[in-house]
Structure 1
């Protein structure tokens, strides 16, 4: 039995290492000193400034060294500030690693609460991974040549989402309130809702202009037009499902009715983490609960 357990453990170890080696980190320059880093998990925003490197989200803990190595191609400075767009592990997993090397972590106050509660339930989150500076509705950060604004959007992807906007660089990080060309994951158990999600996207559209570079939580770099297309998709499907609810249809009826999402299914929106049936179920449940 011990031999079997050792073999399974070793296989798991080699499997994880193989996955890590297969992860490719890419960096795109968006404007002077602002970049987008993609790897595995949520997209990372990067700002090289006079105080060090400021990043938005930090993916998984096991990727931290690989992320740091790639950041060295931008600057020799250390990561000194991190802001989390929400609490999910593919956006906060590297918090502890960066905190132990001196980074200060910021987030909306519900992010800290969610992470802290999860640590009590699962016992696998270190206190050093928690944000040490939190805000309620908004936060303003000032640098020599840049100003950063954080906006809390209520009950969207979760109850602690923040949009991060670089006012001079004209770059907007949407966190997981935007999945470019994909159906979004709306975490209903953590305070998310479809109507709150739609309002968050509308907030992003208000902030952006035609020249804004928009970093989605997942997916390729986007424009305001892409965000508007995403909003139309959300509204169209939500309206379709609301009509079904008004007609007395059940959750199972909506789940099976592919016509409700067909316009966007053919465009590949359901090919990501959330498939077509999942988004129909999520929106139905959210609307029934509101």
Structure 2
């Protein structure tokens, strides 16, 4: 049961590994074959989420994390109804609805998407069908409104139905007052994608940073929609500036309850590996030669054990330097 749960909460990353493994072979698929291959990987994630147990983590001031349906979801209850940060994957609706009902019988009135990826926004449809106001960065709405390809997954995502697409978008910053919390949404600029935002619950001092931070694991960087290693580093520095030693930090993936020290370690790892890979690239090493040089070796024991493998992470970094 434990291994099944671990797969479900990190299945998104297994998709990346599978796609990267194929890409590393230099193989070529026809469009039909590529679609079938990617569909199998995405289906694996969804099948896992459909069976996942939702784990509840209670923070402070009524903020709760729901872990087990794609990315880590934050929920705040109160007189204004349930406020959610990210929606998970729709196939786990039954488990998610049960977890939400245990928090409060009130409906979800506000949903914030930290970015467009399906493990964070696929649940928009069923949450939106209940009348929730869906809020996101303007680039997130763009990607959810059109066919969007992710090269590293060999997959074309179809547009979401209208009720699932964020109708309330912003470009730089947006503020809300909900359930006694001052909720501040801030755009990073290009980072994991080019639509990532942070969500700060001011009074509680809880910061949800989406997929700009993967706690204890190498992150995926989506070059197809504007992500880069430099953007991830810049976002990490913005998150450090926005937090203190007392701030609870919620990452998009990995252990869902984190802090500034762990985030600093993540940032330092990104910087160190970026510099090593950049030096290899400046020296004329090809991507495959850079991978063979094992530039992440000093970090693999801590960061490379489960999700994005060292070779795939090296390729992602190489592309962005």
State the TM-score, normalized to the length of structure 2.
0.81
Structure 2 counterpart of 1:110: 139
- Alignment counterpart, residue 171 of structure 1, candidates 196, 199, 206: 206
Contact 1:107–1:131 (Cα < 8 Å) also in 2: yes
Q: Is the 8 A contact 2:145 2:159 kept in 1?
A: no
TM-score normalised by structure 1 residue count = 0.89
Give the SS at the match of 1:192: coil
The residue number in structure 2 matching 1:276 is 310
Find the aligned partners of 1:73 and 1:254 in 2 and give their Cα distance.
49
Which segments of 5 or more consecutive residues in structure 2 lack a partner in the other structure?
1-43, 150-155
**Which of the numbers 288, 291, 298 marks the counterpart of 1:263?**
298
Q: What is the correspondence of 1:200-279 to structure 2 with a 5 Å cutoff?
A: 200-220=235-255, 221-258=257-294, 260-267=295-302, 269-279=303-313
Counterpart of 2:33? none
Contact 1:118 1:125 survives alignment (8 Å):
no
Summarize the Cα distance change of 1:122–1:215 in structure 2 as closer, same or farther, 3 Å threshold. Answer: closer
Alignment of 1:177-192 (within 5 A): 177-192=212-227
Instruction: Report the CA distance between 1:124 and its aligned residue.
Output: 5.5
Instruction: Tell me by how many angstroms 1:102 deviates.
Output: 1.2
Q: Tell me, yes or no, if the aligned pair for 2:76 and 2:179 is still in contact at 8 Å.
A: no
Offset from partner CA, 1:158-186 (integer Å, 9 cap, x none): 00000111110010101000000111100
- What root-mean-square deviation, in Å, do the aligned CA atoms of Structure 1 and Structure 2 show? 1.8
Between the aligned partners of 2:162 and 2:170, the Cα distance in structure 1 is 18
The equivalent residue for 1:125 is: 160
Residue-by-residue CA offset, 1:176-216 (whole Å, 9 max, x unaligned): 00000111100001100111110001000011110111110
The answer to whether the 8 Å contact 1:119/1:125 transfers is: no
- Bigger Rg over Cα: 1
Give a deviation string over 1:85-110, Cα, whole Å, max 9, x none: 00000000110101111111000000
With CA pairs under 8 Å and 6+ residues apart, which has the higher RCO, 1 or 2? 2
1:107-140 per-residue CA deviation (whole Å, 9 max, x = no partner) reads: 0000000111227965452111100100001110
For 1:136 and 1:242, how far apart are their aligned partners in 2?
31
- Aligned 1:5-44 pairs, distance under 5 A: 19=48, 22-44=51-73
Residue 68 of structure 1 is aligned with which of 94, 97, 122? 97
Partner of 2:181: 146
Rounded to whole Å, the distance in 2 between the matches of 1:17 and 1:191 is: 25
Task: Determine if contact 2:111/2:134 at 8 Å carries over to the other structure.
Answer: yes
Post-superposition shift, 1:81?
0.5
Regions of 4+ moved over 6 Å: 15-18
- 3-state SS in 2 of match to 1:271: coil
1:49 is displaced (CA, Å) by 2.2
- Cα deviation for residue 143 of structure 1 reads 2.8
The number of aligned residues is 271
Q: 1:131 to 1:16 in 2, by over 3 A?
A: closer
SS, match of residue 31 in structure 1: coil
Q: 1:162 aligns with which of 197, 200, 219?
A: 197
Q: Which residue does 1:85 correspond to in 2?
A: 114
CA contact (8 A) 1:165 1:171 kept: yes
How many Å apart are 1:70 and its aligned residue?
0.7
